[in-house]
Amino acid sequence: MAALERTLVLLKPDAVARGLAGRILQRFEDAGLKVVGTKMVQIDADLAKKHYFDLEERFGKSVFDVTANFMQTGPVIALVLEGVEVVATVRRMVGATFPNQAPPGTIRGDFAHTSKAYTEAKGIVAANLIHASGNVEEAKYEVELWFSETELFDYQTVAERYLF
């Protein structure tokens, strides 16, 4: 049975600096997803380490360092979205990690174009605009890391009458 879930979305420093926050948020709302938490945060080294706790193990220290440093270059907008199978829905909407592999119609496919080969050759992070939790367990961990219970809201939208 389909489940009502919550997931974390981070609009990364490149999305904020490019002024894309409203356009990206609108895509989620247009899809009937509900924003139940939002805030702007300047990530410090401690939060980066907690958020990307397994990145070094999975991809190596250099990938962790580049990613953690990039995430500290400017503010991010953190969102908690709620909806039916929202984790998978948001992942589809965001598109592949490397924007040049993301199809048109996805957030990364429409607003970015960086390739893995280019970023690896330059030793830079893929400016891919957005982070979205990878699975339900990761979403639970990330939502709890970024938001306290008092920062999350339960309310009914008009769309819920028709979508949920």
Quick: pLDDT tens for 108-147.
999 998 888 998 899 888 899 999 999 999 999 999 999 9
Task: Give how many domains the chain has, as a whole number.
Answer: 1
Place of tokens 């490397």: 98
Domain that holds residue 76: 4-149
Active site residues: 131
* Adjacent-strand bridge partners of 9: 79, 132
Q: Per-residue pLDDT tens for 59-76?
A: 888 888 999 999 999 999
Strand 34-41, strand 4-11: pairing:
unpaired
Query: How many Å apart are CA 106 and CA 118, to the nearest integer?
Result: 21
pTM recorded for the entire structure = 0.93
Do the domain assignments include residue 162?
A: no
The CATH number of whichever domain residue 29 belongs to comes to 3.30.70.141
